[in-house]
Each structure stands twice: as C-alpha cells, then as structure tokens.
A and B are shown apart, each in its own frame.
Chain A
Amino acid sequence: GQNIDQPTEMTATEGAIVQINCTYQTSGFNGLFWYQQHAGEAPTFLSYNVLDGLEEKGRFSSFLSRSKGYSYLLLKELQMKDSASYLCAVRPRNDYKLSFGAGTTVTVRA
C-alpha cells in the first residue's frame, strides 16, 4: 500500500513564504503531484515531479527527492487567496490511480 504524510495545518502571514512537506512510502514510484483545493471546491492541479529536483512555476515551486521519498511545495509571496488545502498525491509504478495524503490546510493571515 501507500503511506503519504503531510502536516495537517500551517499558518503564515501575507507576503511570506511557506513550505509544505510530504513524505511517502509506495510500492514503486511514477510521479508526485500537488493539488490545491479551496473549501467546497474541486482540487486543481499545481505541479508534477517525476525526476529529482526543483520545478518552478511562478510563485509556486515543487521539489522531489525519490531516494528520500520526500517532496515539498513552496509557496512564495503569499496572498490571501492562497488560503486552501494542499494535497500531495503519488502515482505508484504500474498503477493508474493517485494516492492522496490527507492534505495540509494553509491559512494566510493579513
């Protein structure tokens, strides 16, 4: 099976930086995804990492270390609209589904 861990909650100030960590244990690996989910809405795709290293996309960056089973999502220049749940999801090798963590609720304060 898959075991995906991420912190439950994080709070940060507008304009600051927040790093959301995700650790995983899976039977093989074929990519890690980050999704953003506002309350009552569907998850929206943020990033995809399959090779080690940092992927930058505007204010959001995602990092992957396959040997450590570790990823993080970095949110820079936080805005109030970034208050949401952030979901880490892994696709195991030879598997079609995504296995999700429970999500990290980020609250941005003024």
Chain B
Amino acid sequence: DAGVTQSPTHLIKTRGQQVTLRCSPKSGHDTVSWYQQALGQGPQFIFQYYEEEERQRGNFPDRFSGHQFPNYSSELNVNALLLGDSALYLCASSRDFPYEQYFGPGTRLTVT
C-alpha cells in the first residue's frame, strides 16, 4: 500500500518564476492538505482540498493556489516566487475529518 507521494523531491527556482508541486494521497484517502515548513519551524497550513474544492485556507496570499483531481491527487501552484517561499512543502492526506493526517516526504523548494 503506497503512502503519500510527492514530486519533485527538490526544486530550484528563480524569483518571479512559477512552480507546481504534485501530491498523490494514500490509498483510501480523499482529503489533501498542503503545509509549508520553514527551517526550524512547525508546518504552517496553506489549504485543504476535499471533493475537488478548497475547503479551508490558511493565511497565505493568493499567489498560492491549488487543485484537486477526481482521483484525489492534488497540485500546489505558487506564482511570482519570493525568496521567502523557500521551504519544505508537505502534502498530507486523510480520510475525511477528523482522522489523522499522513504526510508525504515533501518537496524542498529553493528560490534564488
């Protein structure tokens, strides 16, 4: 049974560029959440997708957007990248509320 998978593992982008990160949830899970984790900090909630819609959003600007597909996989898009967007981006999947979330290995994004 595959767990949560994310791609790519690492990514280097330049300021102003756009990036798309991908996530496939654990089998049987229908809810996907995205988190940003800066070095030495806990994960910060970006948004959650359920039934292909954004169900809840954290305190992130509109440059951060996402999508969920019918097979429950999800994408995170970040436009107009800033140096401060450099972080580990974690995808977490779960069966619907209130079950525990299982995290993927993350995508390490570096913005230069």
Contacts and interface: CB of A to CB of B under 8 A. Distances in A.
B42 A96 contact: no
Interface residues on B, range: 20 to 34
Contacts of A4: 42
A102 B42 contact: yes
27 contacts: A30-B98, A42-B103, A42-B105, A42-B106, A43-B90, A43-B103, A45-B100, A45-B101, A87-B42, A89-B42, A91-B98, A96-B31, A96-B33, A96-B48, A96-B50, A96-B97, A97-B45, A97-B48, A98-B43, A98-B45, A98-B92, A99-B45, A100-B35, A100-B42, A100-B43, A101-B42, A103-B42
Interface of A: 4, 30-31, 33, 35, 41-45, 48, 87, 89, 91, 95-103
Given A31-B98, A96-B33, 18 more contacts: A4-B42, A30-B98, A35-B103, A42-B103, A42-B104, A43-B43, A45-B101, A48-B100, A96-B97, A97-B48, A97-B56, A99-B45, A100-B35, A100-B42, A100-B44, A101-B42, A102-B42, A103-B41
